Structure formats: structure tokens, C-alpha cells
Amino acid sequence: MVATSGARLISEDAISVLKSKLLPLATVITPNIPEAEVLSEMEIKSEADMEKAAELMKDQDKKLDTISFLVGYDDYNYFSRVFRKKMGCSPREYRNNLAQ
């Protein structure tokens, strides 16, 4: 479907049919990262992005939603979920721990 280089191997119409007709029937799918990005319609962020966010949080004047935007997330709620998964706590909890 999508090469690891990011090149599309099938058309947009074929991807649409894949998502609407085939994937709902699947028990397990194993996409590579570029395929997962196409299927989820979002960019897969790295652990390095979370570390950058953690560094930015040291600036207590910077709002958390601004930090999420600076590391590439348009949706703060999604950023918060990914941050918790990678860092073991929410962005707010992380910042509060820094202040102590």
C-alpha cells in the first residue's frame, strides 16, 4: 500500500476501498509506519518529540497547548494521550513534578 519511503503503491481510491471494505473485516493488520499514517490520517510522532515537549515544559510561562503545537500536534488531547503513553504521566502532571 505504502512503501517505507512513503511512496504510494496503490491509488487513493484503492486506499479508500481498503479502509471502508477490507479493514473492517480484518482481525489484525500490520502496517508499516507510513501505512499506519495513511490509515489513521495522522502523522506518527516519535519519542524524540515527547522529549522535546518535556524540555519545553521547563518554561512555566509556556502553555501546554502551545507546547503540543510546537512539537507538531494540532490536537492537545491527542498530544496528552501520546505524552502519557511515552512519559508515564500527563503533561500537566509532568510540569507539576518539575515545579516541586
Q: Are 62 and 90 in contact (CB under 8 A)?
A: no
Looking at residue 8, its pLDDT comes to 84
Return d(Cα 58, Cα 62) in angstroms, integer: 9
Looking at residue 42, its pLDDT comes to 64
CA torsion sign for 77, 81, 86, 92 is positive
Regions of the chain where pLDDT drops below 70: 4, 42-44
3-state secondary structure of 8: strand
Looking at residue 93, its pLDDT comes to 93
